[in-house]
Amino acid sequence: MPETKDRPTRLWILRHALSTYNRQGRFQGSSDDSHLTEEGFNEARRAGEALARIPFRTVYTSPLARAVETAGAVMASREHPAPVVSHHALAEISLFCWEGRRYAEICDAYPDQYGDWVHAPARFSLEDQQGARRYPVREAFDRARLLAAELTSRHPGEDVLLVTHNGMGRALLLSALGLGPESFHTIQQNNLGVSVLEYPRGEREARLLVLNATGYIRPRLPKPKSGAIGVRVVLAPGLEPGAASEWLNGAQRLEARSEECGRLIAGLPHPGARPLTTIALSGAANELDGVLARLPLLPAPLVRAAKLQSGRFTVVHYAGPHSPAALLALNLSFPGSERTGMELTA
């Protein structure tokens, strides 16, 4: 293990692989009836290969089966696997009576609460099994802050892998940047998406190095959770004209300093473009940092934490005027590149 005296602590956050409930379109929450599919197991092994060079001291996993299975598959591909420790704080947000039920069913049966889940997550509440009123997203953020403080204190200067879930992963990432539950839907975590938080020595506030890296599984832009509508803005510093592979075919291309870029920013959020429209912005990293800062509806702490890297791409999605802007990915390798999305912080 390398000398850790002056190294930052890095928390690598990995969402579990594709599960049976993911495939069936059901809410999972803290239920433990969902397991990895065969595809999920295969892709989790590929995640282990992609992360093989990262010197993890410890792997912490949610105690739920789909996360434990993912952690096991990831470590199985390593010559010297790190110890895997179950940690209750990494379990998914509890959704009580919603768990195991299909998304469409919940939308119809609980229209007001589902509206809060989508548009006002800090206010979202459900009754638990004892009839007590609970605020699942708020509780997850409280849990995430305590967990981050515990792990950064326990593992100074080390790389630690956390295998968790969509909701809990977002709570960990956003709370580390000083954001609260109202920002719950402003980032995305796909199955097996890898994100990296870096805590410099002596500092409590994290930097976001990578968000939602999935290119090691499938070399394409992350699919928006809200579906193929709206505008997807790809910030690609250092991308030379004509150098992009087919993953950007069909995208409108603009230069960061162009008038068209200014008009794009002024016109966002686009009113629900169908099908999904992709705009690729090129320029120097510092120019595109400025563009990112001017994009509407992204929380300021998230923008401050997202320092763009040349030769890597970042994606922001606008589903429509009534949906929050979402950072889908940060600092991912261009699909087809010889570099992997993991080498940035190895």
Say what the pLDDT of residue 90 is. 98
pLDDT beyond 80 at 328 = yes
Structure confidence at residue 341 as a pLDDT band (50, 70, 90): very low
In this predicted model, which residue has the larger pLDDT, 293 or 253?
Answer: 293
pLDDT beyond 80 at 342 = no
Nearest CA among 11, 8, 1 for reference residue 197: 11
Sign of CA dihedral 342, 220, 222, 214: negative
Give the start-to-end residue ranges of the domains of the chain. Answer: 9-213, 231-345
Residue 327's DSSP bridge partners are 187, 316
Three-state SS at 120 = coil
Note if the pTM is more than 0.75: yes
Say what the pLDDT of residue 244 is. 57
Structural fold of domain 9-213: Rossmann fold (3.40.50)
Structure confidence at residue 344 as a pLDDT band (50, 70, 90): very low
Query: What is the pLDDT averaged over residues 316-344?
Result: 76
Say what the pLDDT of residue 219 is. 73
pLDDT beyond 80 at 243 = no
Structure confidence at residue 335 as a pLDDT band (50, 70, 90): low
The whole-angstrom separation of Cα 281 and Cα 23 is 33
Say what the pLDDT of residue 30 is. 97
Say what the pLDDT of residue 4 is. 59
Residue 92 designated active-site:
yes
Instruction: Give the percent of the chain with pLDDT over 90.
Output: 76
Q: What is the pLDDT of residues 142-188, one digit of tens each?
A: 999 999 999 999 999 999 999 999 999 999 999 999 999 999 999 99
Structure confidence at residue 111 as a pLDDT band (50, 70, 90): very high
Say what the pLDDT of residue 245 is. 55
Say what the pLDDT of residue 336 is. 57
Q: Please, are residues 234 and 221 in contact by the beta-carbon 8 Å criterion? A: yes
Cβ-based neighbours of 331, under 8 Å, separated by 6 or more: 209, 210, 211, 308, 309, 312, 313, 314, 344
Q: What is the pLDDT of residues 31-86, one digit of tens each?
A: 999 999 999 999 999 999 999 999 999 999 999 999 999 999 999 988 889 999 99
Residue 150 designated active-site:
no
Mean pLDDT across the chain: 91
Instruction: Give the percent of the chain with pLDDT over 70.
Output: 92
Runs of H (alpha helix) within the chain: 20-24, 38-50, 65-76, 103-109, 111-119, 136-154, 166-176, 259-267, 285-294, 300-305
pLDDT beyond 90 at 8 = yes
Say what the pLDDT of residue 227 is. 76
User: Which entry of 43, 69, 87, 92 is annotated as an active-site residue?
Assistant: 92
pLDDT beyond 90 at 337 = no
Q: Which residue has the tokens 């030769």?
A: 311
